[in-house]
Structure 1
Amino acid sequence: MSPEELVPVLWEATAETAQMVLWSTLLTAVFGLPIGVLLVTTGRGGLTPLPALNAVLGAVVNIGRSLPFIVLMVAILPFTRLITGTTIGTVAAIVPLTLGAVPFYARLVESAVRGVSREVVEAAQAMGARRVTVVLKVLLPETLPALVAGLTVTVVALIGYSAMAGAIGGGGLGDLAIRYGYQRFDTTVMVITVVLLIVIVQLVQSLGDLLARRLSHR
């Protein structure tokens, strides 16, 4: 492929990857954060112990984390078609990306929230704070740097997942690497795609680390 042909194709593939990762990151934060908090608050010694709900949530999260992403993509094809009307393309890839990342991020949230000192929670309760207030005013602010760091790790994982989504026509840089780099034996395209993915990951990780450090020194 000539440079004149490669540049617009690279731009399009990068835009598709960005679309997949941004939307799935947003949805992962929306669903993963409350699930992670619920895993802590409904567990033994939590603000609202609910053993049955905690067991169900834990089982669902564990199942989601145990499935390799490529298996998950294929397994939920009917669900993806139900949601988006198709099983190929960038929009369709957002569904498995989100379902694969939510359990991962939920466990990171759970780990971060469990790290909050019990004394801090008890002090807030002693001052009359309700459970919702404790979560919103104590647990989340105290863990914000760790939550940002965890989301950064999740975004990096999503970038890798999005590349795998190209295996089933998900679009993006992974699709470009497979169709042009692998199937057409174009080493140049393969190398450029790999380098571009590495650069994107490094930028995301650096920005996430910077934000987490600034929040920890507020």
Structure 2
Amino acid sequence: MSVFEFFDAKILSSPYFEPLFSSWGDALKDMMGVKAYQVWISILLKATWETLYMTIVSTFFASILGLILAIILVMTRADGLSPNRVIYGILDLIVNIFRSFPFIVLIIVLFPFVRLLIGTSIGTNAAIVPLTIGTAPFMARLIENALIEVDNGIIEASKSFGASKFQIIFRVMLVEAVPTLVNVLTLSIIVVIGFSAMAGTLGGGGLGDVAIRYGFQRFRGDIMLYTVVILIVMVQIFQMIGNLIYKKTKR
């Protein structure tokens, strides 16, 4: 059960909330008109929540996977804490290969894997898998660069105090790189929003699906415009939040 199905089944359909939301719906219909209500509430609002759901969940999993890959890359690189040319070379190649894939091609390539894992290759839950796999290598490279840029003097000072390799990674490098990591997360969220729109064109749901099915195929230029505006506003909001957090962590 997706978060939307749970919300509909447990909250909106409950005996306590159903009359309240029903009266709100009737009031909005009277105020907006039936057609405008159907477009904004039944189509665009639902698609916006689906896009946010895909973006947040896939970014969360991609961040975890990307962080793990980045730490291994940083530790095994030639000037790292545990140099290992074989491991670094293999991971570096894998990251580069997946970063080179156009995302829309990656979705198609992963259809069998997603169907095996989720049971279907269509829908928001299915779209999370390629979104995660497509974003994780991108984040891994950005996080790796953020960790590499940490002042080497701080690392050497930590070594002189007897800090272990993992302490240097988690208590020194990651802490020092927090402002840059905030920018990495902000950029990744914005990239995932764009990816989720592409996923929607192949049955992933969300605003991309609405733009194709209602805007393009039904020649509804107004719906196409609305989806573009919503995506722009969404990106701007995440960018503003990211900038505020960056300023606070930079102090």
What is the TM-score when the length of structure 1 is the normalising length? 0.98
Counterpart in the other structure of 2:215? 181
Give the secondary-structure state (helix, strand or coil) at the position aligned to 1:91. helix
CA displacement, residues 162-193 of structure 1 (integer Å, 9 cap, x when unaligned): 00011111000000000000000001100011
Aligned residue identity for 1:17: T
CA displacement, residues 97-119 of structure 1 (integer Å, 9 cap, x when unaligned): 00110010001001100101111
Matched, 1:122 2:153: no
Matched, 1:69 2:107: no
Counterpart in the other structure of 1:113? 147
For the aligned residues, what is the CA RMSD? Answer: 0.9
Matched, 1:201 2:235: yes
Counterpart in the other structure of 1:153? 187
* More relative contact order, 1 or 2 (CA 8 Å, 6+ apart): 1
What is the TM-score when the length of structure 2 is the normalising length? 0.85
Deviation at 1:42, TM superposition (A): 0.6
Deviation at 1:7, TM superposition (A): 1.6
Counterpart in the other structure of 2:14? none
Matched, 1:3 2:39: no
CA displacement, residues 4-57 of structure 1 (integer Å, 9 cap, x when unaligned): 211221111011101100100100111101211211111001001111110011
Identity of paired residues, percent? 45
Matched, 1:137 2:137: no
Give the secondary-structure state (helix, strand or coil) at the position aligned to 2:80. coil
Give the secondary-structure state (helix, strand or coil) at the position aligned to 2:182. helix
Counterpart in the other structure of 1:31? 65
User: Paired residue for 2:76, among 26, 34, 42?
Assistant: 42
CA distance in 2 between counterparts of 1:36 and 1:213 reads 24
Counterpart in the other structure of 1:83? 117
CA distance in 1 between counterparts of 2:111 and 2:40 reads 32
Aligned residue identity for 2:39: L
Structure label with greater radius of gyration:
2
Aligned residue identity for 2:90: V
Give the secondary-structure state (helix, strand or coil) at the position aligned to 1:168. coil
Deviation at 1:146, TM superposition (A): 0.4
Gaps of 5+ in 2: 1-33
Counterpart in the other structure of 1:20? 54
Deviation at 1:2, TM superposition (A): 2.1
Deviation at 1:70, TM superposition (A): 0.2
Gaps of 5+ in 1: none
Count of residue pairs brought into register by the alignment: 217
CA distance in 1 between counterparts of 2:46 and 2:185 reads 25
Structure 1 segments (4+ residues) deviating >6 Å: none
Give the secondary-structure state (helix, strand or coil) at the position aligned to 2:121. coil
CA distance in 2 between counterparts of 1:4 and 1:116 reads 52
CA distance in 1 between counterparts of 2:58 and 2:70 reads 17
CA distance in 2 between counterparts of 1:82 and 1:212 reads 40
